[in-house]
Structure 1
Amino acid sequence: MKRIFGIAVAALLALAGPAAAQGVIGVGTMSQGTLSYTTGSVIAQMMNERLALQARVQPNSGESTLLPLLNSGELDFAIANALEAAEAYEGLGMFAGRRLENLRVAAVLYPLRVALFARAADGISTVAELRERRVTSGFSAMGSVDTLLKAALAAGGVTLDDVRPAPTPSVAAGADQFVDGRADAFFFAVGAAKVSEVDATTPVRILAIEDSPEALARVRDIFPEGYIATAPAAPGMTGVAQPTPVLAFDNLLLTRADAPAETVRAVVEGLAAHREALIAGFPLFRGLDPDALVKQGLRVPFHDALGAR
């Protein structure tokens, strides 16, 4: 980050003047109570308290509403993951036929980890062992989640044809199907409260994927922004008895191609300069790397102000 920008924090505060003069900066998120909302709220607080910008969180019902608002200029920034952003930018999935070409990445925030979970009593520990077992899938109300599932299965060396799909509208509904005995494994975010809720009645075990170049290649064939990361055995990581390789991808701060360059620079440098304040507001910001806020390999281009394409 220092090499990319080379701007002192004092200079950034000076740059905030013109940005603030444009009025309140809208930071779009998913609905209250979501990871997206908490992430955006902490960033908006940082902008208000540390950068002398006027920012306000604007929650929305989902990415199909949120990202078009950013694209059209009704929002200035938004929180979305790398898959949601890529599908919107390229006109895929729920955005088929309506590319949002004005979207740009402002910063990579932190990794998101997802995995398949099985009953601890079943004695399986890897995704490869899910052949012929019932696995939650479809996720008709959640757009891109099925792509993530297919990538996670591929990393374990299996496909949907190798398992018995258990159709479900959402990851939460799928977890309930697992508890009810209608599925042998369910797909969810690692460390999520819902996994702990399931574990309270039906003890679970996270299923490892293969951590190899070959597995990564299979992931990238389905999900170019996906990668393999370790889920640590730590408080709050329900079902993780030992460090376990799982599917990961990035949560992003998005902006618009026409967003003022000085505002984008100020916010991105603020993320790097005030990382500890962000962590105090939301622990997942421990995954924020000040030297990797801009990275290669995303389908959505970075804002021109950041010197990356």
Structure 2
Amino acid sequence: MQLASREWYARLRIGPLRGAGLCGAAALAVHLMSGAAQAQTLGIATMTPGSLNHTTASAIARVLKEKAGLNVLVQPTAGESVIIPLTSRGEADIGIANSLEVRVAVAESKLSNLRLIGAIHPLPTAFFVRKSTPLRTIADLKGKKVVYGFSAQRTIDIVMRAILATSGLTPADVSQVLVPNVVRGADDFVAGGVDAFYFAFGAPKVREVDATVGGIRALAIPEAGMEAARKVFADGYLAPAVPNPFFIGVEKPMGVYTWDNLLFTNATVKDDIVYKVIDAIVKNKADLVTIQPALRALTAAGLHISHSVPYHPGAVKYFSDNKIGIRGAR
């Protein structure tokens, strides 16, 4: 099987809703105002604990506090559909979301204040089933109960349609069980409400589910089906995965559905702060990885991707100072 060559990806190897978002935004605003007299305070809006992005935000917050002298608050929200406009409005200083979610949010809501910091790491994902079942491929999901809807992560449905398309399936071919976000979908899976859930590799929740149900399996995606998938979502690709503690559920070398995870801010954040954020995470990668193994894929060059969202001037200066050119999609 020929997978896209990803030298950076090998670094991964290791030896409801709206109301909740607004409440979180209010709490964050109070925190930021109370800290105005302090040195520097940043709020990082992310998803709920147990998600890949929450762990990533926690790692970044720790490094920024310990290495860059910044006071940082990690602010969980219901999902990426909340995080992006929250950050654009300046109610959070930094946000983390996948590239598709960012593209759609900007296209639909005209978030003119949103500014990109960079692509922090690839986002490898999968449909997971119980290891005790005979289900092994995406085609086996036909007629099964599968998480769907994702009202707080609206673009996940687009990704799921792309993955189903690799085996000639559509959402109509599965029994859809509506959930607000991936964490709730995993909880429903544990409770027996669905046959398959969708999540990113490296998230603590995946490890938790694996231990709770006695083992899970990542469903295989046929490379031949990627042409059909790209008609749904052009930026998705298969990246190599092998059995190891990061890729829980991978039983043999296979390709896993992947795209980029982005770090972004807004136009009101000072240039020197954004510059300091990038400089700190690049220089202290080893510290980040102790908390979030997915950040093994982080590189200064990898941050600077081509995207429809404009870069923050602080990021532009960092890339210019370090002679880092822009690259195309992975």
Root-mean-square deviation (Å): 3.1
SS at 1:122 equivalent:
coil
Q: Is the 8 A contact 2:246 2:293 kept in 1?
A: no
TM-fit CA distance, 1:160: 1.4
Contact 2:182-2:198 within 8 A present in 1 as well? yes
**Partner residue of 1:248?**
258
Q: What are the superposed Cα offsets for residues 44-66 of structure 1, whole Å, 9 maximum, x if unpaired?
A: 332333334x3422414234443
Give the letter for the 1:36 counterpart: N
Aligned to 1:209: 221
Contact (CA 8 Å) 1:110, 1:250: kept in 2 or not? yes
Give the aligned partner of residue 163 of structure 1. Answer: 174
Distance 2:221 2:101 in 1: 23
CA contact (8 A) 2:61 2:74 kept: no
Q: Residues 76-225 of structure 1: matches in 2 within 5 Å? A: 76-91=93-108, 98-179=109-190, 181-199=192-210, 200-201=212-213, 203-212=215-224, 215=226, 217-225=227-235
Superposed displacement of residue 294, structure 1: 0.9
Aligned: 1:36 with 2:53: yes
Q: In the alignment, what sits opposite 1:4?
A: none
Q: 1:118 to 1:72 in 2, by over 3 A?
A: closer
- Partner Cα distance (1:179, 1:264) in 2: 40
**Distance in structure 2 (CA, Å) of the matches to 1:173 and 1:50:** 34
* Aligned-residue offset at 1:180: 5.2
Q: Partners of 1:289 and 1:211 in 2: how far apart?
A: 27
* TM-superposed deviation, 1:299: 3.4
Tell me the residue number matched to 2:13.
none
Unaligned runs of 5+ in 2: 1-35, 321-325
The separation in 1 between residues aligned to 2:289 and 2:229, in whole angstroms, is 30
Query: Are 2:115 and 2:264, in contact at CA under 8 Å, matched by a contact in 1?
Result: yes
| Contact 1:27/1:40 (8 A) holds in 2 | no
Per the alignment, do residues 166 and 80 of structure 1 end up closer, same or farther by CA in structure 2, a change over 3 Å counting? closer
Kept in 2: contact 1:155–1:209 (CA 8 A): yes
Residue identity opposite 2:304 in structure 1: V
Match of 1:272 among 266, 282, 287: 282
* Preserved CA contact (<8 Å) 1:28 1:66: no
CA deviation profile, 1:242-269 (whole Å, cap 9, x unmatched) = 1221211222210224543343333223
Amino acid at match of 2:213: T
TM-score (norm 1): 0.76
Of the three residues 213, 226, 232, the one matched with 2:242 is: 232
CA contact (8 A) 2:46 2:95 kept: no
The farther-off stretch of 237-246 and 223-232 is 223-232
In 2, Cα distance between equivalents of 1:32 and 1:165: 23
Query: Partner amino acid for 1:88?
Result: A
Check conservation: 2:167, 2:222, Cα contact below 8 A.
Answer: yes
**Residue 90 of structure 1 aligns to a residue in which SS?**
helix
What is the aligned partner in structure 1 of residue 6 from structure 2? none
Measured after TM superposition, the shift of residue 127 of structure 1 is 0.8
Under a length normalisation based on structure 2, what TM-score does the superposition of the two structures give?
0.72
Question: How far apart in 2 are the matches of 1:127 and 1:107?
Answer: 32
How many residues were matched structurally?
A: 280
User: Contact 1:179 / 1:202 at 8 angstroms: preserved in 2?
Assistant: no
Report the equivalent of 1:5: none
Give the match's secondary structure for 2:303: coil
Is the partner of 2:231 in helix, strand or coil? helix
- Residues 187-244 of structure 1: per-residue CA shift (max 9 Å, x gap): 22234444444444354321111235x60x4333333432222333112533211122
Counterpart-to-counterpart distance in 2, 1:274 and 1:246: 28
Q: Give the aligned residue type for 1:206.
A: A
> Conserved in 2, the CA contact under 8 Å of 1:133 and 1:184?
yes
129 and 299 in structure 1: CA distance in 2 versus 1, 3 angstrom threshold: farther
What secondary structure, in the 3-state scheme, does the structure 2 residue paired with 1:44 have? helix
What is the CA–CA distance in structure 2 between the aligned matches of 1:181 and 1:114, rounded to whole Å? Answer: 21
Q: Does 2:35 match 1:26?
A: no
Could you list the runs of 5+ residues in structure 1 that have no partner in the other structure? 1-19, 92-97
Q: 1:122 to 1:107 in 2, by over 3 A?
A: same
